[in-house]
A and B are shown apart, each in its own frame.
Chain A
């Protein structure tokens, strides 16, 4: 009977701990808790709480004296299980899930360690309040946004995991120490815990900032590199103009001859061909050079140049229209770049399945509204009604961010609306962002 009660109590305790962890996970992954996600998470969360409670109890019964080993066992179990369900629920890869769980673990363990001072019913209320308040504080600090940037680092992710695991482990160690602290030293211990947590948060924020400035620098360098292509276009235009000038002189001389001969019909035709010739040879180059020049946000420009070059290399004909200068995007610039990346990748993939692949991008910044339209040739394959389901991909599951991820980013930006249409061999995606202030 006693054992059952203890088990029950341990389960409740473990559930509450998981609750804290989940609260922080949402803040860290930059997402407001939604019903859909919660519905998906709660069953595995309950299961992992149950397993954790059993691990705690069994280890208590078998090795009651080895406190450190016991808490390490339970922590390792929680870490492994949470990583598994975070990976599943958020559709991230293993290292990303592990990093997120370690980070959330730091906050949760710190909170639990602090709460151990008041071990009664109130501590749960207090804990819930503290968890929500600190999660809100993290939200306000835009910690999630920074953390997401870190998670996107391909090569550095392993090191990040190691670092976060170290932080998490030291926080766990600190919380174990709590049992050996005499009452008189509890305030000092608490201060130490708080300060350490703040320092760890600051460290992660600092790392994210480093990554962001690195990426911005990279984008600028990309633009410079791509600018060379643009310059080459300009040089080609100049060459054309020079040769045109040459032709023009000859033509003018010929025209003068025709005028004196009184052949007005031939004159008319020659003038028309001159005009058409100029358009064909120069117009398109001048136009495309002017369009990319109107994109004034380096990150967006870099992505556009890269993707356009890639697509052209793969035989997809591209068209870009930017009528007015784009100075701002009205949302977090990396979020916009992510969205644009998803749309362009999807468009290129779909276009390549057709006989004559083309992609058309229209950016229009006007009157505080930025609108993006990506259209592509489409073979008509697949059911577009399903494209937006989480994790759906025509190339099988687990590929890229997908439209589900795209929707998820946009859910954080109420000033953005996205639409799509598919008709007559064309698939198009539109994204309209209002309240764009440079």
Chain B
């Protein structure tokens, strides 16, 4: 069962959301339940700690103010406790919804406290959350998790083309078809952690085996997802061995 948590200091809004959620879950007969409905972060975090590390869905007020807590910090704490949880923010200011929440907390969606369409928006959002769970259950994705300060980033392994040592010491660059991510780490450690799928083709390159498009043995280069990597002599031997084993 997936637990749903609710935190908003406006009691009326909270009750409306809770009722909408419960009705929707009942009608659709989904395996979900509102396990906590709180007016401040304290009780919510307690309930979360009690339930243990299970994936939850969280409906949080953006404009929450409670001592040191606000909507962002609460989201951050929930992320820490439940890295794969789904965060949905409730805001009073439609257009003003913070992109900061989207990028730093991977907030899933926003619901505007619109007196008219609140219930409908809640139902639509829950549908999307449920649909995503279904997809993920069918096709669980292997991801590489990177930490940048407080922020966690999940990169699907199947999207990674190759890793490369960055100009700055102890930094590694990760390349996908649509991004280039810098992080602190080492190729040797990644090589160990990621296993067979990636091959050390050069001192400074770790490439995804199934993404290698062509190999230029003479020039000591190979093309991975349209980008050029260097190929060392040791890398050549490893590549040949792998190709031999594959046949």
Contacts and interface: CB of A to CB of B under 8 A. Distances in A.
A410 B184 CA distance: 13
A65 B94 CA distance: 86
Interface string A181-201: 000000000000000000000
B203 to A, nearest CB: 12
B148 A371 contact: yes
B245 interface: no
Interface stretch (B163-171, B189-197, B205-213, B234-242): B163-171
Contacts of A432: 148-149, 151
B171 A385 contact: no
Most buried by B among A268, A271, A321, A369: A321
A265 to B, nearest CB: 11
Contacts of A321: 98-100
A202 interface: no
Interface string B213-234: 0000000000000110000000
B11 interface: no
A418 B184 CA distance: 11
A419 interface: yes
A280 B94 CA distance: 9
Most buried by B among A360, A362, A419: A419
Contacts of B103: 362, 373
Interface string A264-279: 0000100110011001
Interface in B148-202: 148-151, 167-171, 175, 178-184
**Interface size bracket, A side:** 35 or more
A146 B94 CA distance: 47
Contacts of B72: 323, 366
A360 B179 contact: no
A360 B116 CA distance: 30
A419 B180 contact: yes
Contact of A434 (B149, B168, B178): B149
Contact of B170 (A34, A279, A414, A420): A414
A203 B182 CA distance: 39
A319 interface: yes
B242 to A, nearest CB: 25
Nearest to A421: B179
Interface in A347-396: 360, 362, 364, 366-369, 371, 373, 383-385, 388
B54 interface: no
B93 A279 contact: yes
Nearest to A370: B149
B22 interface: no
A227 to B, nearest CB: 23
A142 interface: no
Interface residues of B, number: 33
A217 interface: no
Nearest to B180: A420
A422 interface: yes
Given A369-B150, A423-B178, A432-B151, A287 B96 contact: yes
Nearest to B98: A321
B114 A284 contact: no
A366 B115 contact: no
Contact of A418 (B95, B149, B175, B182): B182
Contacts of B76: 366
Contacts of A367: 149-150
A417 interface: yes
Given A271-B115, A323-B72, A385-B226, A421 B169 contact: no
Nearest to A419: B181
B226 A275 contact: no
Interface in A196-235: none
A5 to B, nearest CB: 40
B124 interface: no
B81 to A, nearest CB: 16
A407 interface: yes
Contacts of B180: 384-385, 388, 419-421
Interface in B75-120: 76, 93-96, 98-100, 103-104, 114-116
Contacts of A366: 72, 76, 150
A352 B226 CA distance: 27
A407 B166 CA distance: 10
Contacts of A36: 167
A8 interface: no
A432 B171 CA distance: 13
A417 B183 contact: yes
B94 A279 contact: yes
Contacts of A362: 99-100, 103
Contacts of A420: 179-181
Contacts of A360: 99
A283 B96 contact: yes
Nearest to A386: B227
B14 to A, nearest CB: 19
B100 A323 contact: yes
Nearest to A276: B94
21 contacts: A34-B167, A268-B116, A275-B115, A276-B94, A279-B93, A283-B95, A319-B99, A323-B98, A360-B99, A362-B103, A364-B100, A364-B104, A366-B76, A369-B149, A384-B180, A385-B180, A388-B180, A410-B168, A411-B168, A420-B180, A432-B151
Given A283-B96, A385-B180, 17 more contacts: A280-B95, A287-B93, A321-B99, A362-B100, A364-B100, A366-B72, A366-B76, A367-B150, A369-B148, A407-B167, A408-B167, A411-B167, A414-B170, A417-B171, A417-B182, A418-B182, A420-B181
Interface of A: 34, 36, 268, 271-272, 275-276, 279-280, 283-284, 287, 319, 321, 323, 360, 362, 364, 366-369, 371, 373, 383-385, 388, 407-408, 410-411, 413-414, 416-423, 432, 434
Interface of B: 72, 76, 93-96, 98-100, 103-104, 114-116, 148-151, 167-171, 175, 178-184, 226-227
Q: Which 9 A-B pairs have the closest CB atoms?
A: A369-B149, A421-B179, A419-B181, A417-B182, A423-B178, A432-B148, A411-B167, A420-B180, A411-B168
